[in-house]
Amino acid sequence: MSAEKAFIPPDRQRPTEAPPAARAVSLRTRSPVTEAVWVRALLISVGLAFVVVFLLLPLVFVFVQAFKLGFGEYLAQLSEPYAQSAIRLTLLVTAIAVPANLIFGIAAAWAIAKYEFKGKAFLITLIDLPFSVSPVIAGLVYVLLFGAQGYFGPWLAANDIQIIFAVPGIVLATIFVTFPFVARELIPLMQEQGTGDEEAALSLGASGFRTFLFVTLPNVKWALLYGVLLCNARAMGEFGAVSVLSGRIQGFTNTMPLQIEAASKEFSRTAEVAAFSLASLLALLALVTLALKTFLEWRYADRLSSAGQSH
Amino acid sequence: MTIRRPANGREFLAGAAAAIGVIIIVVAITMSGRSVALLNVSYDPTRELFEEYNQAFAAYWREATGQAVSIRQSHGGSGAQARAVVDGLEADIVTLALEVDVNLLAEAGLMDANWRDLLPNRSAPYTSTIVFVVRAGNPKNIRDWDDLVRDDVAVVTPNPKTSGGARWNFLAAWAYAESRSGGDEAVTLDFVRRLYANVAVLDTGARGSTQTFAQRGTGDVLIAWENEAHLTVGEFGAGAFEIVMPSQSILAEPPVAVVTRYADARSTATVAEAYVEYLYSAVGQRIAAAHFFRPSDPDLVDPEALAAFPAIQMTTIDHFGGWAEAQPRFFGDGAIFDQIYLPAP
């Protein structure tokens, strides 16, 4: 009993001390589920101020800086050879990393949600690993594995295969950090859906692959798209892991985030515009992703949360 | 309840893994077959210098041999760049900030240990020194190192634990205090301690310090590389900043070297050697001077361009027994810098 009493919040412990008249007034003027007007105003303005100062202002600043010297200079900086190659490289890396994780993500989610096997919990933990490991560590691990001093270094060198400080390393690092996005989006949904639909399809004579293509996949398509969008945004923006093993060769292994950093270190007004014009492209991409995501949520909210059950 | 044998899930995983493997190998092969070009791995402050030099060298090489050469550049912190080359970033040439960084490559067997003797002026085609940048009109009247320990002066310099450039700043201050005190170590230590007590922001790198001072408006004086100081004044206009030459400073000799093992493997040794040698030519020296690095052979450069480099008394790293001795004595864990620099509570 005494333990229970200790959990009562201090302000509720002595209700009798408040004057009965005051309590009656407060009860009459506001409903028990809402706060006083000034409390609401304060909370809303604090929340709003936070969003404006920490999210909106920096975003606006990116665009202000990018267009500081006019739209012509903005375009000129974006069409610089180094900027162009950074954009191309980022697109190439994303074009490899996102489909790779799409396949991995579907396979992993499928295995986890639809089958029982030993080590399942371990596999789920493993999929989450990139979320908990710092990207810099991820990059360093690849350097230790594939670097000239690393385990596979001598063999790779002997066979003239360049992995780190080249595109394959950047792709590997990007796949690593974006690994969980698709799988994490699919697993809860597929688990919730269970295997009922598939069993029905199979009992009607559909092949395994046909079942996957026409039953499993349509059930999760919106969650899948959602996962791919998140994966894509992160793949394009990844800095930490990529910076460790890119080698920073201008025009060859600098991705957009790396080129932004390089330009921001350069010491001129045009370099600043160069940095922010690339940053604005990334920001624009993030905004488009966000808009798509919001649209998906708004349009297909029911199917995103429990797509399979409506069948 | 399972729909099919669990093995199917695993087969799918294996298939997916194989597909990714194929993609990676294909990309690796495409990359390894890329056209041969020189890669110059350098440090941050030389970015603008080599942008110009690369074009000059490519023109010279085409004229001399008829061969087209394209030069790729990589810039970053000097120590990190050296590390990347050791880890397999296949640089034909390194142009780094410190001798120790190139020694790291020699220790890894990427070049001969005597690399410093292969080129003139101990493999340093240009040198630099440490100067002060103050705000326009020099409102705090900063003339020499003594003014940096005054109570009313806030200093901006990077952290010697993380920045190569900052070590030169530290040693320049130390050398000044040492010669003023007649070699009394206790007095020298106290002087440097007071100087670092005045440091307002200790950035991790030289470029960061410059941006803190010039763009954020922090501090009264920036201790900087001479070329960085000129860049600052040039970018923001002489109306915003002034350069102050202290009475005494330190001579920094950023080394260049051919990474023979990678260059030999890539059959680029000849052009790589020409690349570093051309830095000593009149053209190379002129470009270095234009980017405010002191040419190692001033006779090759117009006297006008040399006006930016007033002669001042300079200590060299040899005064401290070379980097091999100076590094552990001043910047090792628990060494002199750790003893004097205590972050404000």
Q: Residue B278 has what pLDDT?
A: 96
Residues 223-252 of A with CB under 8 A from B: 247-252
Mean pLDDT of A266-280: 84
Residue whose entry in the numeric block shows the structure tokens 């310099």: B157
Among the partner-chain residues B3, B76, B87, the one whose CB lies closest to the CB of A202 is: B3
- Decide if B74 and A104 are in contact by the 8 Å CB cutoff: no
CATH class of segment(s) B31-124+254-306: alpha beta
Give the pLDDT band (50/70/90) at residue B333. Answer: confident
pLDDT of residue A308: 43
Who among A100, A111, A248 is closest to B20 (CB)?
A: A100
Q: What is the pLDDT of residue B201?
A: 87
CA distance A301 to chain B (A): 29
**Nearest alpha carbon to residue A260 among A251, A252, A271:** A271
pLDDT at residue A261, as a whole number: 87
Is B200 near chain A, with CB under 8 Å? Answer: no
Overall average pLDDT of the B112-128 stretch: 93
Chain B residues inside the 8 Å CB shell of A251: 72
For residue B12, the chain A residues in CB contact (below 8 A) are 107, 110-111
Residue A263 at interface with chain B, using a CB cutoff of 8 Å = no
- Confidence bin at B327 (pLDDT 50/70/90): confident
A54 by Cβ neighbours in 10 Å (0-12 / 13-18 / 19+) ranks as exposed
List B residues 54-73 in contact with A (Cβ-Cβ < 8 A).
72-73
How high is the pLDDT of residue B152?
93
* Residues A27 and A251 sit within 8 Å (Cβ to Cβ): no
pLDDT surpasses 50 at A248? yes
Q: Which two tokens stand for residue A36?
A: 């006083």
pLDDT digits (tens, 9 = 90+) for A31-45: 677 778 888 899 999
> Are the beta carbons of B16 and A107 separated by less than 8 Å?
yes
More confident residue, A27 or B101: B101
Chains A, B: CB contacts under 8 A, how many? Answer: 126
Contact A161 B9 (CB under 8 A): no
pLDDT for the residue B11: 59
Contacts of B74 in chain A (CB under 8 A): 247-250
To probe the interface with B, which of A165, A186, A190 has the most B CB atoms within 10 Å? A165
Residue A227: closest CA among A289, A172, A176: A289
pLDDT over threshold 60, residue B100: yes
Mean pLDDT of all residues belonging to chain A: 83
Q: Do A164 and B87 touch (CB under 8 A)?
A: yes
Nearest to A148 among B10, B19, B86 (CB): B86
Residues of A in contact with B232 (CB under 8 A): 267
Residues B32-66 have pLDDT tens digits of: 434 458 999 998 888 889 999 999 999 999 898 88
Question: Amino acid letter at B237?
Answer: G
pLDDT tens figures, B153-187: 999 999 888 777 888 999 999 999 999 998 898 99
Looking at the DSSP bridge assignments, the partners of residue B93 are B40, B258
**Are the Cβ atoms of A172 and B28 closer than 8 angstroms?**
no
Which residues of chain A are within 8 Å of residue B212 when distances are taken between CB atoms?
none
Q: Do B73 and A247 touch (CB under 8 A)?
A: no
Are A117 and B28 a contacting pair at CB < 8 A? no
B9/A269 touch (CB, cutoff 8 Å), yes or no: no
Residues of chain B with CATH 3.40.190.10: 31-124+254-306, 127-251+312-340
Q: Given CB atoms, is A268 within the 8 Å cutoff of chain B?
A: yes
Q: CA–CA separation, B46 vs B206, rounded Å?
A: 12
Contacts of B84 (CB under 8 A, 6+ apart): A165, A247, A248, B41, B74, B76
Q: Is the pLDDT of residue B275 over 50?
A: yes
DSSP 3-state of A128: helix
Per-residue pLDDT tens over the stretch A138-185: 898 899 889 888 888 888 888 888 888 999 999 999 999 999 999 998
% of residues, chain A, pLDDT over 90: 26
pLDDT reading at A296 higher than 50: yes
Q: Which of A116, A251, A262 sits opposite B2 (nearest CB)?
A: A116
Q: What is the pLDDT of residue A221?
A: 84
d(CA B337, CA B83): 24
A28 pLDDT band (50/70/90 cuts)?
low
**Three-class DSSP category at B118:** coil
The tens digit of pLDDT for each residue in A107-120 reads 999 888 888 888 88
Read off φ and ψ for residue B130, nearest 5 degrees: -105, 130
pLDDT at A269 over 90: no
Q: Closest Cα of chain A to B3: distance in Å?
A: 6
> Which is more confident, A271 or A3?
A271
Angle subtended by helix axes B226-236 and B206-214, to nearest 10: 30
pLDDT for the residue A91: 92
Contacts of B1 in chain A (CB under 8 A): 195, 199
Query: What are the tens digits of pLDDT across the range A275-292?
Result: 999 999 999 988 888 888
Q: Would the CB atoms of A114 and B47 count as touching at under 8 Å?
A: no
Average pLDDT, rounded, for chain B: 86
At B314, which helix (H) or strand (E)?
strand B313-315
Which of A227, A231, A228, A229 is closest to A188 using CA atoms? Answer: A227
Residue A131 in this model has a pLDDT that exceeds 50: yes
Q: Across the interface, do B24 and A208 touch by the CB < 8 Å criterion?
A: no
CB B206 within 8 A of CB B165: yes
Residues forming a β-bridge with A32: none
| Contact A258/B at CB under 8 A | no
pLDDT band at A4 (very low <50, low <70, confident <90, very high): very low
Picking from A116-130, B123-137, B276-290, which range would have the lowest pLDDT averaged per residue?
A116-130
More confident residue, B202 or A265: B202
**Residue B65 carries which DSSP code?**
H
Q: At the top level of CATH, which class does the domain B127-251+312-340 belong to?
A: alpha beta
Strand B38-43 vs strand B93-95: parallel, antiparallel, or unpaired? parallel
Q: Which of A190-204, A295-309, B51-65 has the lowest mean pLDDT?
A: A295-309
Residue B21 has pLDDT above 50, yes or no: yes
What's the gap in Å between the CA of B165 and the closest CA on chain A?
15
